[in-house]
Amino acid sequence: MEQIRDTSSIKGWGADSDKLNRPAHTMWEIPIEGTGAHWETPEQQPGFKDFVSIERPRVTKVFGNTVHPKGLSGLVRKMAFKKSEGTFSHWMMLIFADRIGIVEGYLDDFKQGKLPHPLRERGWNMDKKFKTRRYYKVLTMSGLLTVGLIASVVKLTYGNRR
Amino acid sequence: MIATNYRGPYRIRADRDKSLPKIEHPNDAIIRVTRSLICGHLYHGLVPDCRVGSVFGHEFTGVVEEIGKSVKNLKVGDHVVVPFNIACGSCLFCKHQLYGNCHETVPQASAMAGFFGYSHTTGGYDGGQAEYVRVPFADVGPYLIPEDISVDDAVLLADAYPTGYQAAEMADITEGDTVVVFGAGPVGIFAAKSAQLMGAGRVIVIDRLEYRLEFVRRFAQCEAYNFEEMDDPVVFLKKETDWMGADACIDAVGCEASGSKLQGILGVKMKIRSGSAVALQWAINSVKKGGTVSIVGVYGPTANLVPIGNAVNKGITIRSNQASVKRHIPHLVEHIREGRIRPSEIITHRIPLEEVSDAYHLFSNKLDNCIKPVLIPPHANM
């Protein structure tokens, strides 16, 4: 048999032993004090520019409204939203669209005059501090790759002229 | 304003040219963020429809800067903690306090409720890792931070602590029960402590990171074991529980669990399953016949490799949900007041919002014994 443990030193042990004192002891309880809502049905937020799940009859009353679908990733998302949430293809198309969005993100950065810095965006400063070996390994590999690329371009350009 | 900008898996930065949020609905509020916490799943690119350009951050506190014309329960200047779920307060689910299941906040999906800063699968709302954030249904979600509760304790009431508490509550713990918690991350730590508050006779935490096991032993006054030092965690737990299994098991890990190469390759690397469900597999196999498995670990919306046949054969109850944060906050505030728990003890790093790339890398790679980093915008006090 398992031994009975002494719980007397455990701070707060058993404070919520009574299940009736736990906030969600009945899952479907209607709160007496209300939920904070003072409407039967909320007003509709205007300006929806996204896709609606085909498992819904309409746009919900509120929604996020900042990163709208666009470009090739937007087209893939449009296809994804023709499928229900129960289909594997719906989610895989969304993940595929997310990956296309990464490339589009680079292009957007360049268009806005921003130079993306993938290593800095990955927080490599922390590696310098806490994983120095990995930091210098990545730095060396990146350096060698860059030199190799430049050398190849130079060779292709000037090599062809001879 | 300064706001995080997601650029793809493992890539995030702070931009200074993000437009200020504006009131878009009569019950919106604009909040000036004072604290924002970091969570890893989106950063790893595991949640579908997570678009480049999104602002992350679903756990935050802030001061009310502006309110919509129908807002009655908040006023400018109030310092509030904002639950991570956005709830209308009037749909079938909200009326019954299932705020994590609100049906009026996500056009793009029907299974999820709206979350701040958590992909378009949860509504595409900008999150709180920014100087300012738009908070819909301001009369329902935000909770005024009591004067005797610190802002660092309060910010953990937005998600991690209520989620851990609800995990224990869903495990249906009766006094004297043996409870196993898989995962010693922030939610697992709070689940272990909450199991003690509910009178568990024995709480066992399983993880692979020694510093986290050490922390949870102290914080929750429980047992904690490293599964990498075991041949088979399920057999270990059976031995520890008189060969019967635990009364309840809690999965506080979710889709990024270590411990199985097959699950890791299919779910995390190839993403043809919604993550690696090793912790859930262990939970189902380690629980006693007729016991309860409580799931709060985050999983994607597709399918997972779980031993559902064993669940049927053992007659176990599986309970799961996103935490109804608003429902739990007043009760958890009392626990803080009574000195039974101090949530802010899990905050290991305080990092300026501008250094968000470093903060995510630190958290994601568990560097410098990181448990929970907090981001602090420039106008807020460190």
The pLDDT tens digits of the residues spanning A42-58 come to 999 999 999 999 999 99
Average pLDDT across chain B, whole number: 94
Chain centroid offset of residue B320 CA: 13
Supply the pLDDT for residue B262: 82
Which among A40, A55, A125 is the nearest to B90, CB-wise?
Answer: A40
For chains A and B, count residue pairs whose Cβ atoms are closer than 8 Å: 267
Q: Answer yes or no: do B90 and A42 touch at CB < 8 A.
A: yes
Statement to judge: residues B367 and B292 lie in one domain: no
Identify the band that residue A160 occupies on the pLDDT scale cut at 50, 70 and 90.
low
Cα separation, B41 vs B168, whole angstroms: 22
Q: What percent of chain B is predicted at pLDDT more than 70?
A: 100
User: What are the DSSP calls for B210-279, one per residue?
Assistant: HHHHHHHHHHS--EEEEGGGSS-HHHHHHHHTTTT-EEEEEE---TB--S-HHHIIIIIIS-SSSSB-HH
- pLDDT score for A133: 87
Task: Give the three-state DSSP class for B356.
Answer: helix
Structure confidence at residue B188 as a pLDDT band (50, 70, 90): very high
A4 touches chain B (CB under 8 A): yes
In a domain, A19, yes or no: no
Residue A5's pLDDT is 74
| Predicted local confidence at residue A151, as pLDDT | 92
CB-CB neighbors (< 8 A) of A79 in chain B: none
Q: Nearest chain B residue to A84 by CA: give it.
A: B109
User: What CATH code is carried by the domain that includes residue B331?
Assistant: 3.90.180.10
Q: What is the three-class DSSP state of B344?
A: helix
Mean pLDDT of B341-361: 96
Looking at residues B191-211, what average pLDDT do you find? 97
pLDDT band for position B39 (50/70/90)?
A: confident
- In a domain, residue A41? The reply is no
Helix, strand or coil, per DSSP, at residue B122: helix
Q: What is the pLDDT of residue B112?
A: 92
Assess whether B22 and B151 both reside in one domain.
yes
Q: Is residue B251 located within the same domain as residue B357? A: no
Phi, psi of B239 (to 5 degrees): -60, -40
Task: Let me know whether A55 and A98 are in one domain.
Answer: yes
Classify strands B11-15 and B3-8 as parallel, antiparallel or unpaired: antiparallel
Domain count, chain A: 2
Q: Which residues form the domain of A105?
A: 49-60+67-116
Report whether pLDDT(B45) > 80: no
- Flag whether residue A5 sits within 8 Å of chain B, measured between CB atoms: yes
d(CA A100, CA B180): 41
SS3 B131: coil
A9 touching B (Cβ < 8 Å):
yes
pLDDT at residue B299, as a whole number: 85
- In angstroms, how far is CA A51 from the centroid of its own chain? 18
Secondary structure of residue A29 in the 3-state scheme: coil
CA atoms within 13 A on the CB side of B254: 23
Give yes or no: residues B41 and B168 share one domain.
Answer: no
Residues 133-152 of chain A with CB under 8 A from chain B are: none
A125 contact residues in B (CB cutoff 8 A): 357-358, 361
Q: Say whether pLDDT at B29 is over 70.
A: yes
Based on the fold, state whether residues B153 and B166 are members of the same structural domain.
no
Pick the more confident residue, B265 or B30.
B30
Quote the minimal CA–CA distance from A110 to chain B in Å.
Answer: 13
Q: Is residue A25 scored above 70 in pLDDT?
A: no
CB contact under 8 A, B52 and A40: no
Interface of A with B in 102-121 (CB under 8 A): 102, 104-105, 108, 116-118, 120-121
Average of pLDDT values for B142-154? 97
Cα torsion through A39, A35, B150, B41, rounded to 10: -90
- Report residue B124 CA to chain centroid gap: 18
Whether A3 shows a pLDDT value over 60: the answer reads no
Whether B255 shows a pLDDT value over 90: the answer reads: no
CB contact (8 A) between residue B201 and residue A4: yes
Predicted pLDDT at A161: 63
Residues A130 and A154 in one domain: yes
pLDDT at A82 > cutoff 60? yes
Q: Tell me how many helices (H) and strands (E) chain A has.
A: 5, 0
In 10 A of CB B65, how many CB atoms?
15
Shortest Cα distance, chain B CAs vs residue A13, angstroms: 5
Amino acid at A58: R
- A71-75, A133-137, B158-162, B189-193: the lowest-pLDDT one: A133-137
Average pLDDT over residues B13-20: 96
Domain end, chosen from B274, B305, B320, is at: B320
The answer to whether residue B382 is domain-embedded is no
**Same domain membership, residue B358 and residue B344:** yes
Average pLDDT of chain A? 89
User: pLDDT band for position A1 (50/70/90)?
Assistant: very low
Q: Determine the residue among B4, B11, B58, B363 to mutate to test chain A binding: the one whose Cβ has the most chain A Cβ atoms within 10 Å.
A: B11
- Tell me which of B273, B291, B320 is where a domain ends: B320
CA distance linking residue B136 with residue B28, whole number of Å: 4
Q: How many CB atoms lie within 10 A of CB A40?
A: 6
Residue B129's identity, in one-letter code, is Q
Nearest to B108 among A50, A97, A117 (CB): A50
Task: Give the ipTM.
Answer: 0.91
Q: Smallest Cα–Cα separation from B49: which of B108, B130, B112, B103?
A: B108
Residues across chain A: 162
Range of the domain at B232: 160-320
Domain match, B68 and B117 both: yes
